[in-house]
Amino acid sequence: MIQSLRNAFSLPDLRRRILFTIGILILYRLLANIPVPGANAQALSSFAQQNDLGPLLNTLNLLSGGAVRNFSVMAMGVYPYITASIIIQLLTPIIPYLEELQQEGESGRNRINKITYYMTVPLALLQAVGQINLIGFSYGGSLEGIMPYFGFSEVGNILPTLMTLAAMTGGTMFAIWLGERITEEGIGQGISLIIFSGIVAGIPQGLAQIASGFDRQGAPVTQTTQIVAFVTFVVLTIFLTYVIVLIQEGNRRVPVQYGRRQRGRKVYQGQSTYIPLKVNTAGMIPIIFAQSLLAFPALLAQIFVPDPTVAEAEYTWINNFAVYLNTSFGQQNGWGYWLVYFLLVFAFTFFYTDVMVTQQKLHENLQRQGGFIPGIRPGKRTEVYIKSVVRRITFVGALFLSLVAVVPGIMQLVSYLVGMPGLDLSAVILDGSGLIIVVGVVIDTIRQLEAQLVMRNYEGFS
């Protein structure tokens, strides 16, 4: 592999592409440290030092590479674009126009991409408003403390509010543009590499938290716990990487037979091949869905959480339930939160995989090309068979995704059982969902680089 990288750098074109990609990623990391206009500098510094931001903000912070914690103009990262892409994917089987575009080949895909970009702008504006309010809730429940001039309630706040929204939306669109530049002129898939760079950039901060001697709640931990947490982080990362590669690359090969065909004067003999059905077709999307939903209970609970000056004896059952939701879902603690998280990821994996497989219309494509699965009648029977196979292997993929998602919760349980508070920090540095992205992007980038080398008659990474 090292020799292949040397070969890549020895070729001017590949060297330019690699350096261009590195340069764009460095530019993105620099922009992720520019705060949004209108934020209170002192409150911003205090917010950046918080150990826990809540489930949804933690996910957004992961995808933006710490830009949420810095309250940067890049705080939304490329998340609105991901949301728009998911919405388009879900709407394609429902809206005939989108379905027709998908079947038009390259030109149709370009039109769909353009629609996705247009949809990203209003979604970015809405998400900017929601994210600023989420940050306000996370920062002591008061938006005025960190964004004193945000909102449309007063005339004097309208221009500062519009400026803040424009800066955050512009940051998102610029991040998407940087990703497109990497895809066209660099190495790898640009949007994925933007997310990848952000996740990797957060690892030193997580290691610094272990070295600080305090857990997520700010309680001091022993030096033994720090050492064990670091060793556990290394072992956990190696083990999860192995499992993720095993599952992500795993597929079920469904045999396909093509009969003898004649097109014009050419006669094509029958041949055998297979359809590779991935164990985890959904990728990380179910985890994003689940974490987005899990943010709402904590937000609703904020309305009913009593003032700190109110005695606990005066709490009503609604107040007690709101405090439980805020503590459990807001701080990602307790078996209730992790159980709901596990079940949501499991359910969303089946839902999203079913949508993706239905959208591909494999049975129609096979029938159109004269192919069939041995022993299965073409048409409806083939569709039913493919879906049944996909659902069986998706059970393994859903179980895998759900367990990876709740690794921090598992480590919390282990920390409690062994009586070592702070051990769960080992899973917070780079949790399972972030590791899925990192491993997937590394594999994809290596394959693209290998393909470039093969085209130039160099040996790949094998």
CA 53, 55, 57, 60: dihedral to nearest 10 degrees? 140
List Cα–Cα distances, 94 to 87, 241, 306, 359, 417, in angstroms.
11, 37, 45, 10, 49
| Confidence (pLDDT) at 186 | 85
User: What is the share, in percent, of the chain residues with pLDDT greater than 70?
Assistant: 81
Residue 410 confidence (pLDDT) above 70: yes
Residue 275 confidence (pLDDT) above 80: yes
Half-sphere exposure of 442 (CA within 13 A, CB side): 13
Q: What number is the average pLDDT over the span 46-63? A: 65
Q: pLDDT (tens digit, 9 = 90+) per residue, 126-166?
A: 888 887 877 776 666 566 777 777 877 778 778 888 998 99
| Confidence (pLDDT) at 314 | 65
| Confidence (pLDDT) at 170 | 92
Structure tokens that stand for 199 in this block: 């996740």
Specify the pTM. 0.76
Weakest-pLDDT range from 214-223, 320-329, 453-462: 453-462
| Confidence (pLDDT) at 82 | 82
Confidence of residue 268 (pLDDT cuts 50, 70, 90): low
Cα separation, 280 vs 257, whole angstroms:
25
Cross-strand bridge partners of residue 455? none
Q: Which span out of 266-280, 294-308, 407-421 was modeled with the highest average pLDDT? A: 407-421
For the CA atoms of the chain, what is the radius of gyration? 25
- Residue with token string 């720090």: 226
Half-sphere exposure of 296 (CA within 13 A, CB side): 6
Weakest-pLDDT range from 62-76, 153-167, 177-191: 62-76
Q: Report the amino acid identity of residue 174.
A: F
Averaged pLDDT of the chain: 79
Residue 308 confidence (pLDDT) above 60: no
Beta-carbon contacts of residue 404 (< 8 Å; ≥ 6 apart): 240, 243, 244, 432, 433, 435, 436
Weakest-pLDDT range from 64-68, 130-134, 435-439: 64-68
Q: What number is the average pLDDT over the span 312-327? A: 70
Cα separation, 198 vs 171, whole angstroms:
15
b/e code 417-447 from CB counts within 10 Å (16+ = b): eeebbbbbbbbbbbbbbbbbbbbbbeeebbe
Q: What number is the average pLDDT over the span 233-248? A: 85
- Under a CB-based contact definition with an 8 Å cutoff, are residues 73 and 30 in contact? no
Beta-carbon contacts of residue 59 (< 8 Å; ≥ 6 apart): 287, 288, 291, 292, 433
| Confidence (pLDDT) at 56 | 61
User: What is the share, in percent, of the chain residues with pLDDT greater than 90?
Assistant: 4
| Confidence (pLDDT) at 299 | 64
Residue ranges per domain, the chain?
1-201+431-462, 221-428
3-state SS, the chain, equals CHHHHHHHHHCHHHHHHHHHHHHHHHHHHHHCCCECCCCCHHHHHHHHCCCCCCHHHHHHHHHHCCCCCCCECCCCCCHHHHHHHHHHHHHCCCCHHHHHHHCCCHHHHHHHHHHHHHHHHHHHHHHHHHHHHHHHHHCCCCCCCCCCCCCCCCHHHHHHHHHHHHHHHHHHHHHHHHHHHHHHHCCCCHHHHHHHHHHHHCHHHHHHHHHHCECCCCCECCHHHHHHHHHHHHHHHHHHHHHHHHHHCCEEEEEEEECCEEECCEEECCEEEEEEEECCCCCCHHHHHHHHHHHHHHHHHHHHCCCCCCCHHHCCHHHHHHHHHHHHCCCCCCHHHHHHHHHHHHHHHHHHHHHHHHHHCHHHHHHHCCEECCCCCCCHHHHHHHHHHHHHHHHHHHHHHHHHHCHHHHHHHHHHHCCCCCCCHHHHCCCHHHHHHHHHHHHHHHHHHHHHHHHCCCCCCC
Cα separation, 336 vs 294, whole angstroms:
11
Q: What number is the average pLDDT over the span 62-84? A: 78
Weakest-pLDDT range from 18-27, 72-81, 124-133, 136-145: 136-145
Confidence of residue 169 (pLDDT cuts 50, 70, 90): very high
What sign for the dihedral angle of Cα 86, 87, 93, 98? Answer: negative
Residue 294 confidence (pLDDT) above 80: no
- Under a CB-based contact definition with an 8 Å cutoff, are residues 286 and 401 in contact? yes
Is the pLDDT higher at 187 or at 215?
187
Phi then psi dihedrals of residue 410, to 5 deg: -60, -40
Domain 221-428 in the same topology as domain 1-201+431-462: yes
Cα separation, 136 vs 117, whole angstroms:
28
Structure tokens that stand for 432 in this block: 């399972």
Domain covering 1-201+431-462 assigned CATH 3.30.499.10 in the classification? no
Residue 331 confidence (pLDDT) above 70: no
| Confidence (pLDDT) at 23 | 92
| Confidence (pLDDT) at 453 | 77
Residue 262 confidence (pLDDT) above 70: no
| Confidence (pLDDT) at 307 | 59
Residue 458 confidence (pLDDT) above 60: no
Q: What number is the average pLDDT over the span 58-85? A: 77
CATH of 221-428, one of 2.40.160.40, 3.40.50.920, 1.10.3370.10, 3.40.50.1820: 1.10.3370.10
